[in-house]
Amino acid sequence: MKCKTITEMMERLEQLEKEEPVKISVQKAADIMRIPEHRLGLGLMQGKFPFGAGCKDGRNEYWISTKRFVKYMKAEDMNWPPPIIIRRVIYPATEPEV
């Protein structure tokens, strides 16, 4: 069952931490993320997600860390705000030389 609201997703994440503290299935993770299972699996195999990995050895195998998945979904693993703020410099318009 896919999560419909942010509140529902947060409740499912808390429940997930209690029920499966080490590893979760691709199906459960995909339902929470609201993406197809094959897309999540492909992303794991390509190293696109920081919470798990995938490999193909005769058949597709995946590992998703519950702790890292929950941190990713709650955006707790992001470095925000950035440590350095770059100021925007506005240069005056110049006339082209003739």
Say whether pLDDT at 81 is over 60.
no
Q: So where are the chain's domains?
A: 6-73
Count other C-beta atoms under 10 Å from residue 56's C-beta.
Answer: 9
Mapped onto helix, strand or coil, the DSSP state of residue 29 is helix
Cβ atoms 68, 49 nearer than 8 A: no
Say what the pLDDT of residue 57 is: 80
Cβ atoms 10, 52 nearer than 8 A: no
Q: Strands of 23-24's sheet, edge to edge?
A: 23-24, 59-65, 52-57
Long-range contacts of 12-15 (CB under 8 A, 24+ apart): 13/70, 13/73, 13/74
Say whether pLDDT at 79 is over 70.
no
pLDDT bucket at 74, cuts 50 / 70 / 90? confident
Say what the pLDDT of residue 85 is: 56
